[in-house]
Chain A
Amino acid sequence: MAELSNLCLLLVILVNFFTLGSARLGACIHAVALQGAVLALLPLATHGLNGHTLLLAAGALALKGALIPWLLLRAIREVRIRREMEPLIGFVPTLVLGALATAGAFIFADRLPLIEAHQGGLFIPTSLATLFTGFLLLVSRRKALTQVVGYLVLENGIYIFGILLAEAMPLMVEAGVLLDLLVAVFVMGIVLDQINREFSTLDTEQLSALKD
């Protein structure tokens, strides 16, 4: 099973790079949907088949892999935005930063005081690299929608770390976390729609009237 989870984690890292380098919002959302679906496999691959992991996997697949991306795709259809123009940090520099951070995550994870079973595994470096990718998307993009994608990638990074500690997060809490994520994206979607109506754009540069 270790091969399967390693394969999944490598796929997650590839998706990270894709979201950093792609200007097309639709493609980014599809990529994040793929990432969510791949993440749904991870609990099964690491902890084997049982009630807890099955439910967790089903929940992650339904929400991260289908429902949330669907909400976002509907949002971009309504606001008619296809591309991320003029990011604050260009696509090539963000890709380079992402690559450096991923390399850094692998080196850093080697030095962490891990328990024996996790040493040399891909889980922790992938989790850290995904977290950083999410952050990079959040700070380097102008469109409010890409920021939501960044938030989702960030959450995915945390989810990967959480899989290592399935005992700490009972099913009820895990389900609640997923549900909160869904509602968060839903509320963000509504706000996005209002931003678009009020400003005729999703450019967060417009959102700068409030300051001291």
Chain B
Amino acid sequence: MLAALILLPLALVPVALLAPWYRLRSWLLPAAGAGHLLLVLLALGHVADAAPGAWIGLDPLSRLVLLVASPLYLGCALYAVDYLEMRRERGNRTMVPCLLLFLAALTLAAMSRHLGLLWLALETTTLASAPLIYFNRNRLSIEATWKYLLICSVGIALAMLGLLFVAYAALRGGAPVSLLLTDLLAAGPVLSRPWLHAGFVLLLIGFGTKMGLAPLHAWKPDAYGEAPGLVGALMAGGLTSLAFLAVLRVMQVMTAAGALGVARPILLGLGLFSLLLAALFMMRQGDFKRMLAYSSIEHMGLLAVGVGIGGLATFGALLHLVNNALAKGCLFLSAGNIHRAFASKRLSDVRGALVALPFSGALFLTAFLAVTGTPPFGIFISEFTILRGIFDAGRLWVGLTVLVLLATVFIGMGASVLAVSQGEPTDRDLAFADRFLLVAPPLAMLLAVLLLGVYIPEPLWQLLEQARLLVEGGA
């Protein structure tokens, strides 16, 4: 069953490479997405937690990430059908196989119980997504692709060194040398401290680069700015969630080793710095897709802050992971529509999106409200939970700093979003009109975020709590 989750998209790759019909290739994406979601739902209900020695398997954390990534992928895949139809001149011979590979690698990463395998899957997602960023084939997208490829490859190479350091910590501690998660957790108490700490820092640099935590975010505004909206949605919602999962796996090891006292402050520092940087660059940002990248950095920062504080804040961060993925999906997809319609993403050129594109404009505006934590959307609840966790832990100054930065982000982002959506469009007859598949998936994601704001289903609540316990033990 679990193998089928990975093999299904992989099996469609040769079909996508060989099939001669354009539309068929496009429809392979939703087919893979729907099959994947179905299998994920079945697996969540019927597959037990992984056995100790297994290389792939489920546990609450991987269930949570799959539950987030799979619907997001299906939404983006449906959107892709009409998007690719609109951009026939670009072709889909590269896009479709790469997106399928991306899904397979993403699933493998979510289910890996061996840190080496997790590393491998994450690196594969980087390679599969690089051609996607280059979809528009112009100078700017080359530049973005090159930076993404080089920075993420070097980052993830450092993560490999970090893994080796952790393995050396086991060797030095006299435990069996293995990167299986269960073995590492069992060996926790004897892991040699200096190696473990150095390994943690390297792993955080590596996976943090992929998450886009400041100051390791250099590739992010460029890549999100130049990639098509649906690729941005998949990266900001799916890839970052996986990178965060990798960070959480490392935190699991740190918890088992009783080294949370070292790990948490570092994570908290990175998180706060990301929030600060996002707030600064969000002000006067002249390009609304780059602005979304800074919003993603902000939310990654919040996740890091949540786990850096621990307890209730970790629970909030895990809930935030779900909300962030869905809200980012809606935001990027609707921003992609606006970009298409106005053929520009500069604030100086885009005006009156609400008038020109009633659906996409309204979605964009509402998704902005959702993503900045306005009630009654789910992000409000998760940010509130994180903040409550911070104040409960007695970290008054951290809490106040986060509040001020969140407010700054709201103002900075609001100014740009309102400039895009309000006013009179300069050019009244646009070549682009809203199509069903270009607005229905983002709408569904937005509704899901709204739903999570008013009601969190009991099974999800339990899953989040189990995942939290997994990250930080009973403490």
Contact = CB atoms under 8 A, between A and B. Distances in A.
Contact of B164 (A112, A155, A162): A162
16 contacts: A112-B194, A113-B172, A113-B194, A165-B164, A168-B116, A168-B164, A173-B119, A176-B117, A176-B120, A187-B127, A188-B149, A191-B149, A195-B142, A198-B142, A209-B139, A210-B226
B243 to A, nearest CB: 16
A91 B285 CA distance: 39
B157 interface: yes
A115 B168 CA distance: 9
Interface string B199-227: 00000000000000000000001100110
B192 interface: yes
Interface string B102-145: 00000000000010110110011001001100100111101111
B172 A173 contact: no
**Secondary structure type dominating chain B contacts:** helix
Interface in A132-166: 138, 144, 147, 151, 154-155, 158, 161-162, 164-165
Contact of A210 (B114, B140, B161): B140
Interface in A110-125: 112-115
**Secondary structure type dominating chain A contacts:** helix
B179 interface: yes
* Interface bin, chain A: 35 or more
A184 interface: yes
Nearest to B176: A167
A38 to B, nearest CB: 20
B142 A165 contact: no
A4 interface: no
Interface of A: 112-115, 131, 138, 144, 147, 151, 154-155, 158, 161-162, 164-165, 167-170, 173, 176-177, 180, 183-184, 187-188, 191, 194-195, 198-199, 204, 207-210, 212
A207 B150 CA distance: 13
A173 B134 contact: no
B125 to A, nearest CB: 11
Contacts of B222: 210
Contacts of A177: 116, 119-120, 160
Contacts of A138: 150, 154
For A112, A162, A164, A168, the residue with the greatest tally of chain B CB atoms inside 10 Å of its CB is: A168
A212 B130 CA distance: 22
For B116, B137, B225, the residue with the greatest tally of chain A CB atoms inside 10 Å of its CB is: B116
B281 A151 contact: no
B145 A191 contact: yes
Given A115-B172, A151-B150, A162-B164, A173 B145 contact: no
A144 B146 contact: yes
A208 B167 CA distance: 39
A170 B168 CA distance: 15
B292 to A, nearest CB: 13
Interface string B142-186: 111111011001100100110110011011100011110000000
